[in-house]
A and B are shown apart, each in its own frame.
Chain A
Amino acid sequence: MNGEAILPYLIIIPLFGAFAMPIVNLAGKKARDAWAVLISALTFIISSVIFYHIWNTGEIIVYTLGAETPFGQGVDFPIRIVWEVDLFGAIMVFIVAFVSLMAVIYSIGYMKHDTGLDKYYTLILILELGMLGIAITGDLFNFYVFLEIMSIASYALVAFRNDTWEGIEAGIKYMFVGSIASAFVLLSVALLYGQYGTLTMGYLAVKIVQNPTVTAKVALALFIAGLLFKSGASPVHMWLADAHPAAPSSISAMLSGLVIKIGGIYAIARILFSIYTPMAHSIVLKAYLQPHINMSAIGWVIIIFACLTLIIGNAMAVIQTDMKRLLAYSSVGQIGYILLGLGISIAAYGTQTGEIALAGAIYHTVNHALMKALLFLVAGVVIHQLGTRNLNELSGLAKTMPKTTFAFLIGAAAIVGMPPLNGFASKWLIYESSAIFNPILGAIAIIGTAFCTAAYVRVLYTFFGRPSEKVMAAKDPETSMMLPMLLLVLAIIVMGLLPWQISDKVMIPAARMLEQFRFEYINALMSLVGGA
Chain B
Amino acid sequence: MDVMANIVYPVAGLIGLYAFVSLASLVWEGIDRKLVARMQRRVGPPLLQPLYDFFKLASKETIIPNTANFMFRAAPILALATAIALLAYTPMGFAPLLASKGDVIVFIYLLTLIGFFKILGGISSGSPYAKIGAAREAAIMVSREPAMMLALFAILWRLGKLRVNKPFSMEVFYQYNIWEIGTPLSLVGAVILLYVFVIWLASEIEVGYFNIPDAEEEIAEGLLAEYSGRYLALLKLTKALKTYIAASLVVAIFFPWGIADYFNLTGLPANVVNLLFHTLKVFILLFAVQSVFRATTGRLKITQAVGFLWKNVFLASLIGALLIAMEVIM
Contacts and interface: CB of A to CB of B under 8 A. Distances in A.
A41 B242 CA distance: 49
Contacts of B59: none
A163 to B, nearest CB: 35
A143 B124 CA distance: 50
A464 B71 contact: yes
A398 B123 CA distance: 11
B120 interface: yes
A530 interface: no
A398 B71 contact: yes
A465 B106 contact: no
B40 interface: no
A465 B131 contact: yes
25 contacts: A396-B69, A396-B126, A398-B69, A398-B70, A398-B71, A398-B124, A399-B68, A399-B69, A402-B69, A406-B70, A418-B109, A419-B106, A457-B138, A460-B120, A461-B123, A461-B134, A464-B71, A464-B123, A465-B123, A465-B126, A466-B67, A466-B127, A466-B128, A466-B131, A467-B69
A393 B71 CA distance: 20
A151 interface: no
Nearest to A398: B69
A192 to B, nearest CB: 46
A403 to B, nearest CB: 9
Interface string A357-392: 000000000000000000000000000000000000
B122 to A, nearest CB: 9
Contacts of A399: 67-69, 126
Interface centre among B120, B123, B124, B127 (most CB of A within 10 A): B123
What are the 4 closest A-B residue pairs judged by CB atoms, nearest first? A398-B69, A466-B126, A399-B69, A464-B124
A232 B106 CA distance: 34
Interface string B131-148: 100100010000000000
Contact of A467 (B126, B127, B138): B126
Contacts of B106: 419
Chain B contact residues: over half helix, strand or loop, or mixed? Answer: helix
Contact of A405 (B67, B68, B69, B109): B69
A392 to B, nearest CB: 15
A399 B73 CA distance: 12
A415 to B, nearest CB: 16
Contacts of A467: 67, 69, 126
A460 B138 CA distance: 13
Interface residues of A, number: 15
Interface in B15-73: 67-71
Interface centre among A419, A457, A460, A464 (most CB of B within 10 A): A464
Contacts of A418: 109
Interface residues of B, number: 16
Interface in A438-473: 457, 460-461, 464-467
Contacts of B120: 460, 464
A402 B134 CA distance: 21
A464 B131 CA distance: 10
Interface string B71-85: 100000000000000
A467 B109 CA distance: 30
A457 B69 CA distance: 17
Nearest to A428: B105
Interface in B100-136: 106, 109, 120, 123-124, 126-128, 131, 134
A396 B134 CA distance: 15
Interface centre among B68, B69, B109, B138 (most CB of A within 10 A): B69
A172 to B, nearest CB: 41
Contacts of B71: 398, 464
B256 to A, nearest CB: 26
Interface string A20-55: 000000000000000000000000000000000000
A309 to B, nearest CB: 25
Given A457-B138, A464-B69, 16 more contacts: A396-B67, A398-B69, A399-B68, A399-B69, A399-B126, A402-B70, A405-B69, A406-B70, A418-B109, A461-B134, A464-B71, A465-B131, A466-B67, A466-B126, A466-B127, A466-B128
Contacts of A419: 106, 109
A429 B88 CA distance: 25
A168 B131 CA distance: 40
Contacts of B109: 418-419
A73 B138 CA distance: 72
A466 B69 CA distance: 9
Contacts of B123: 461, 464-465
B136 to A, nearest CB: 13
Nearest to B110: A419
A460 B128 CA distance: 16
Contacts of A464: 69, 71, 120, 123-124
Interface in A119-167: none
Contacts of A398: 69-71, 124
Interface in B173-188: none
Contacts of B67: 396, 399, 466-467
B174 to A, nearest CB: 25
Contacts of B126: 396, 399, 465-467
A447 to B, nearest CB: 13
A466 B128 CA distance: 8
Contacts of A406: 70
Interface centre among A399, A402, A419 (most CB of B within 10 A): A399
A465 B132 CA distance: 11
Nearest to B75: A464
A464 B70 CA distance: 9
A398 B67 CA distance: 10
Nearest to A406: B70
A398 B125 CA distance: 11
Interface in A394-432: 396, 398-399, 402, 405-406, 418-419
Contacts of A396: 67, 69, 126
A464 B67 CA distance: 10
B153 to A, nearest CB: 12
Nearest to B138: A457
A146 to B, nearest CB: 42
B68 to A, nearest CB: 7
Contacts of A466: 67, 126-128, 131
A461 B123 CA distance: 7
Nearest to B106: A419
A465 B68 CA distance: 8
A467 B68 CA distance: 9
Contacts of A460: 120
A180 to B, nearest CB: 42
B185 to A, nearest CB: 23
Contacts of B69: 396, 398-399, 402, 405, 464, 467
Nearest to A453: B142
Nearest to B122: A464
Nearest to B68: A399
B221 to A, nearest CB: 18
A467 B65 CA distance: 12
A182 B33 CA distance: 72
Interface string A51-76: 00000000000000000000000000
Interface centre among A396, A399, A460, A466 (most CB of B within 10 A): A466
Nearest to A400: B69
Interface in A158-210: none
Interface string B263-281: 0000000000000000000
Nearest to B128: A466
B306 to A, nearest CB: 16
